[in-house]
Amino acid sequence: MSVQRFPHGDPYEGTGLPELGFRNYWYPVLAAWRLGRKPKALKVLGEDVVVFRDHGKVYALAERCPHRGARLSQGQCLYPGSGTISCPYHGWTFSGDTGRCVAKLMEGPDASASREIAVKSYPVRVLRGAVWVFVGDIEAPPLEDEVPEVLKATEDWHGFATWRTYRCNWRIMKDNLCHDMHAPFVHRNSPELKFQPVFPFASRLAAFPLEGGNGIGYVARDGVPSADYPGLGPFPPKRERWYRFLKPTGRGKEIDAKSAAVQKYGVKYRQSSLMPGATFIGRPNGNYYVLRWVTPIDEHSNFYYSWSLFRRQGWWRTLREKLFWIFWVSWVHDWLFSDQDKRLLEAVIPGSEIYSRTDAGVIAWRRYAVEHARERAAAAEKRSAEAAAE
């Protein structure tokens, strides 16, 4: 008997969303400071990758040595400065830049033809503290063209990052980040939000393509902070209301035309989804952004990299924001608040779904992503190249 993967049906069948993620994009895979002298084995979009550092430069190659299958991550850079890594088994040595085998140490310097042997070499960059790898089959575009301005501009923005592995498919994770109005429900009693009114819900949600052409922005209107349900009672339920005496923070507010974000900085949407699976969340005042990148690991897990970015407004304010992040955001939001999603998402039983008004953002994202995915273009390119070669 074969293993039945989706006894309840495959919710992504027919959507075109690839199980292992969109190829031909950059993905953050590791905090750069965690890469020391020892190479690190990673799995990205189902591919085994070794990342290593030599004289400060970071390299990424396929993990499997083509000789006898040993793991390059168990090897080391034997010749510092050469940008190479040597297989732990027989010393086949590969260039970190090109992936080509430049020596077979146990076979001697006269080993023939070794330069025709190569492992896949991945474009790799370090940006805003993360190691980024480009997984795909085409030439990598510059990483800078693919990330929001606030991530690149380190002189204007300061910030922090956290990361976690989620034991669920990346699509289940990304669906959670499409403004689907789960937040007013799931997180309403998290320590961060417990004493505020719940976020507005029952909004009309619309999605618009971003001007940069790299995603969609969400607009939610006419939301309410409470409602009465016939036969049941109000939401939030009465016993959850008396302690909600604080004013709402910016987190739940939509950006409108009068927001500083729009007026001064031209950021039109409070929340947007970016290719290949990122989420960009801002505040109406335009001084704080959150960028969250979902990196598929394999069918069953993904790596979630999240930046909190503050506009630099003088050293005193920067210091306050750093302390605020360290003593508040890091654990109350990135840990406790996120854990509510993690527990829920990792337990989801994938299967056929029934979409409703609140899922407009999910549906819009899926459609946009599949239509605009670079993957498709690359596949077409590959086919025509193969046709030309014949």
Least distance from C-beta 25 to a second copy, angstroms?
22
Choose, by CB under 8 A, the member of 12, 201, 310, 365 that binds a second copy: 201
Closest CA to 83 of 60, 67, 64, 63: 60
The answer to the question of residue 1 lying near a second copy (CB under 8 A) is yes
**Shortest spacing between CB 70 and a second copy, in angstroms:** 6
Cα 212 to chain centroid, rounded = 19
Closer by beta carbon to a second copy, 17 or else 130: 17
Q: What angle do CA 22, 349, 15 make, to 5 degrees?
A: 35
Strands, E, within 82-169: which ranges? Answer: 84-86, 92-95, 101-104, 124-127, 130-135, 157-166
Residue 264's nearest CA partner among 240, 283, 243, 290 is: 283
Closest distance of CB 386 from a second copy, Å: 21
Between residue 2 and residue 31, which ones bind a second copy under the rule CB under 8 A? 2-3, 5, 8, 11
| CA separation for the pair 168, 178 (Å, rounded) | 17
> Which of 82, 98, 154, 330 is close enough to bind a second copy by CB under 8 A?
82
For a second copy, the binding residue among 20, 31, 129, 185 (CB under 8 A) is 185
State the nearest-atom distance from the C-beta of 176 to a second copy, in Å.
9
Stretch that binds a second copy, among 107-115, 126-134, 312-320, 374-382 (CB under 8 A): 107-115
Binding mask 330-349 for a second copy (x = CB under 8 A): -------------xx--xxx
Separation in Å, CA 23 to CA 10, 19, 43, 377? 21, 11, 14, 11
Query: CA–CA separation, 179 vs 217, rounded Å?
Result: 10
Of 211, 232, 257, 266, which lies in the binding site for a second copy, with binding defined by CB under 8 A? 232
Where do we find the tokens 């549906």? 363
Verify binding: residue 266, a second copy, rule CB under 8 A.
no
**CA end-to-end distance (rounded Å), the chain:** 40
How many other C-beta atoms are found inside a 10 Å radius of the C-beta of residue 46?
Answer: 14
Report the interface residues with a second copy, using CB under 8 A: 1-3, 5, 8, 11, 48, 63-64, 66-71, 74, 78-79, 82, 84, 88-91, 93, 102-109, 111, 117, 172, 175, 180-182, 184-186, 201-202, 224, 227-233, 235, 237, 343-344, 347-359
